[in-house]
Amino acid sequence: MGTCCTMLNNPVMNQEEIQVGDVVWLKSGSPAMTVDGFHQTSKNFYRCFWFNAERSAVSEYFNQLSLTKEESELKLLLDKTEGQSA
């Protein structure tokens, strides 16, 4: 019984499968980012690339628990707001 409950409560096991080349977003909202690789010492961290407002490529490592492959409603709202101010 302990194994079953441990597996169900393990957030890593309930996470989406994210692969190199996937487009992801931060769960809290972010630009679309492309997964380029994994951290050398921790496979739970993904290196993601995106373009900033100056159209320069940026990369950073993110914990897999903070990423999603589903575009968030917050991101869609931010895009609409940015489009209106341009």
Work out the pLDDT band at 2, boundaries 50, 70, 90. very low
Domains and CATH numbers, the chain: 2-85 (3.90.1720)
**Per-residue confidence (pLDDT) for residue 4, from 0 to 100:** 39
DSSP sequence for 16-58: PP--TT-EEEETT----EEEEEE-SS-TTEEEEEEE-TTS-EE
Residue with tokens 């290196």: 47
Output the pTM of the full model.
0.65
